[in-house]
A and B are shown apart, each in its own frame.
Chain A
Amino acid sequence: MASKRVSLSRSRSSSSDDGILSRISDNTVVRKGKSAACDAVYVAKRLLRSTGKAAWIAATTFIVLGIPLIIEMDREAQFTEAELQQASLLGGAAPAQPK
């Protein structure tokens, strides 16, 4: 019983004896601001991490699915172009003869 009373009085005295800085930091507005800042940082971190993960998945998926497709379509287009050119060189002469 006695020890409890002593500890209580000691804690009360220590709070009243604290400097101005700790009194400011104990202020409700400051405390709320602090927790809000902490929350904001936490949410931002989570958001950054999840967007990073999503970007990673999207990028690797694109590397596997998209890039080979683009390269092959480009090659195919080049082939058809070359063929068309050849056909116009050869075929261009052929229709000219009947005229």
Chain B
Amino acid sequence: MATFVSPPTAPAAAAAASDSAAEPPKVDYLDLPCPIPYEEIHREALMSLKPELFEGLRFDFTKGLNQKFSLSHSVMMGPTEVPAQSSETIKIPTAHYEFGANFIDPKLMLFGRVLTDGRLNARLKCDLTDNLTMKGNAQLTNEPHMSHGMFNFDYKGSDYRTQFQLGNGALFGASYIQSVTPNLSLGGEVFWAGQHRKSGIGYATRYNTDKMVATGQVASTGMVALSYVQKVSDKVSLASDFMYNYMSRDVTASVGYDYILRQCRLRGKIDSNGVVSAFLEERLNMGLNFILSAEIDHRKKDYKFGFGLTVGE
């Protein structure tokens, strides 16, 4: 799969390089901008198309104790889906309280979250030097074999970025992304999961101008992801994405809009599975946000509506 897919990227890169070389303004290829990290390659499309949809009630409260330290409390209430064999989704009502502590410093960031059901999530981001960053992520649960830990080391070069990943269960990963022209960047990744005896390789390409972003990614797991974001104006952007899984033959395409207005942010999406969703964040006052979330699955007749309040920050 990987060898089959890699040829199109190379001619595309060559074509793009020759195109930009033919352009009148000479491009200094030794002074290219730094690309976006490999795992954030679909950032704009994800921001517009994948808001945090929820069902039920949410209440988030963040209180800063001083410049660097803040505490957060959140309450979530509502039905949660339980995985079941039948095609019908079963929902049981649940309620959670989450307590969090954040420490934010330019050089060091620490986040901790504890849920009432015993889940603990810790994140760490630390700048070791100007170019080298270490990120850690750990998730502890009371269920066996569901706890995860992961360390990332990111190195940021002048026109490239590279990342090395270490996780529990003998998970190793590495990725590299390089700017080829001022607009185009190409990257690749390899990973090896020792516990599941799986390995894979992936390629990604991203073309961005200040009006649009187009990305493409393939991996040997059979995943093909394409996305396109068009910024219509500084307030409005339109996004579309396409996902194809070669192994499970799943195809999904979605189109969405993202409006960032003065008092609110509104994101709407419709996808090829018949799911319509919208997410509205309305700023009522300084530090007081009202959230409305709606998701309608016409095919499964599954309707999710949620509302929430965010206080602080």
Contacts and interface: CB of A to CB of B under 8 A. Distances in A.
Contact of B296 (A64, A68, A69, A72): A64
Contacts of B280: 68, 72
A81 interface: no
28 contacts: A60-B276, A60-B298, A61-B296, A64-B268, A64-B276, A64-B277, A64-B294, A64-B296, A65-B276, A65-B278, A68-B266, A68-B292, A69-B257, A69-B259, A72-B259, A72-B261, A72-B263, A72-B266, A72-B280, A73-B259, A73-B261, A75-B261, A75-B263, A75-B264, A76-B261, A76-B262, A79-B262, A79-B263
A94 to B, nearest CB: 24
Nearest to B282: A72
A79 B235 CA distance: 15
Interface of A: 57, 60-61, 64-65, 68-69, 72-73, 75-76, 79
B263 A69 contact: no
Nearest to A56: B298
Contact of A65 (B261, B262, B270, B292): B270
Residues of B contacting A: mostly: strand
A57 B277 contact: no
Interface of B: 257, 259, 261-264, 266, 268, 270, 276-278, 280, 292, 294, 296, 298
Contacts of A65: 268, 270, 276, 278
Contacts of A61: 270, 276, 296, 298
B263 to A, nearest CB: 7
A82 to B, nearest CB: 11
Contacts of B296: 60-61, 64
Contacts of B270: 61, 65
A64 B305 CA distance: 10
Contacts of B268: 64-65, 68-69
Given A61-B276, A68-B278, 10 more contacts: A64-B268, A64-B278, A64-B294, A64-B296, A65-B278, A68-B266, A72-B259, A72-B264, A73-B261, A76-B262
B292 to A, nearest CB: 8
A18 B258 CA distance: 74
A69 B266 contact: yes
Contacts of B262: 76, 79
A64 B270 CA distance: 10
B260 to A, nearest CB: 10
A68 B294 CA distance: 11
Q: Please indicate which of the listed interface residues A60, A65, A75 has the most CB atoms of chain B within 10 Å of its own CB.
A: A65
A73 B233 CA distance: 14
A64 B292 CA distance: 11
Contacts of B266: 68-69, 72
* 8 shortest interchain CB distances as A-B pairs: A65-B268, A76-B261, A64-B278, A61-B276, A64-B294, A64-B276, A57-B298, A68-B280
